[in-house]
Amino acid sequence: MKKLQIGIDIGGTKMLLLANTATGLQFKKITTGFNFSGVDADTAIASFLKELPAPPSSIGIAIPGLVKESGQVISSDVLPKLNGWLPSVTKDSPCPVCVLNDSDAALIEAKHEVGLPAHITLIIVGTAIGASFWVNQQFLQGAKGWAGELGATPIVTAQGSKTLDQLAGGAALLQRLGVDTQQLTNLVEQKDAIALKAIEDAGRWLGIGIATTIHLLNPEVLVLAGGTLNWQGYLEAALSSAQEHCIPELWQECRIHVSVHGGLLVALGAMRAATEFEQKF
């Protein structure tokens, strides 16, 4: 019988729960937001598990923020009410549970998407911006496993010091325009000049982050992922800005790849991470 594997992506606007069942992928999506808490997450996970045709063999949970090896969330600026949360399923489930940063989860899946080169940098742009690094065929994670907080990078602007999240992240873009996602979609469809300029500006700031990571890590492949890339003109502006600010030789030696998995990448990566974790048992 095929093993039933779970991948969960908890993001700033939505929580995606994905199960790889014998009959195909089964998924559920719920809204999150700034006030989404650990209790909310535990409730959603428990409800999803009850809907499945069989108990899972492994569970992977990806979170935007700093995560301890134990699975406890240390800090999440996107979802601050998850701070200190240890998923109940890590204590209650008889199967292996892997809790990890969402960018790391995305990279675990993206490695297979791009053919397993030795040097990969992944940048994921959603509500905020994160990164993960594969160097010499291993993760570059830092002393506590927390490397990759690209969105916290300070940048000096005419308005003072801002973080890359504040300049290029999806949440900051909406806040700057004073709209929600649907309203921005409507403005883009109407070819609203102010909205399109704001998207372009945000993309150009991301290009600074892209150029910075290429300069620091000299990757073979740079993977870009996340919903904010879908806004009209954002990706084009980011790549144009990155090339403009990058040393030509480093830019030429780096292949840019936009993930084909779209909104499923993190959940699939969490699922794969948990499967690999299960195999170690």
CATH number at residue 160: 3.30.420.40
* Residues 184 and 96 occupy one common structural domain: no
Same domain, 87 and 163: no
Q: Are residues 116 and 201 in the same domain?
A: yes
**Using an 8 Å Cβ cutoff, are 49 and 4 in contact?**
no
The total number of structural domains in the chain stands at: 2
Q: 270 and 241 share a domain? A: no
Shared domain check, 246 and 275: no
**Rounded average pLDDT per 10-residue block, the chain, 281 residues:** 87 95 91 96 96 94 94 95 96 91 96 94 96 96 94 95 97 96 96 98 98 98 96 98 98 97 94 80 49
- pLDDT for the residue numbered 280: 58
CB neighbourhood size of 124 (10 A):
31
Q: CB-based contacts of 117: which residues, under 8 Å, 6+ apart?
A: 220, 221
Please check whether residue 65 is in contact with residue 59, taking contact to mean a CB–CB distance below 8 angstroms: no
The whole-model pTM stands at 0.93
Q: How far apart are CA 12 and CA 127, in angstroms?
A: 6
Domain identity same for 163 and 256: yes
35, 129: one domain: no
- Cβ atoms 38, 85 nearer than 8 A: yes
For residues 171 and 120, state if they share a domain.
Answer: yes
**Same-domain check for residues 149 and 240:** yes
Specify the DSSP class assigned to residue 78.
S
Q: Domain range holding 234?
A: 106-261
Sequence-ordered alpha helix ranges (H) in the chain: 38-51, 89-92, 102-113, 164-168, 170-177, 181-189, 193-217, 234-245, 248-252, 265-279
* Partner residues linked to 156 by β-bridges: 161
For residues 89 and 186, state if they share a domain: no
* 50 CB-near residues (< 8 Å, 6+ apart): none
The verdict on 134 and 205 lying in the same domain is yes
Are 113 and 243 members of one domain? yes
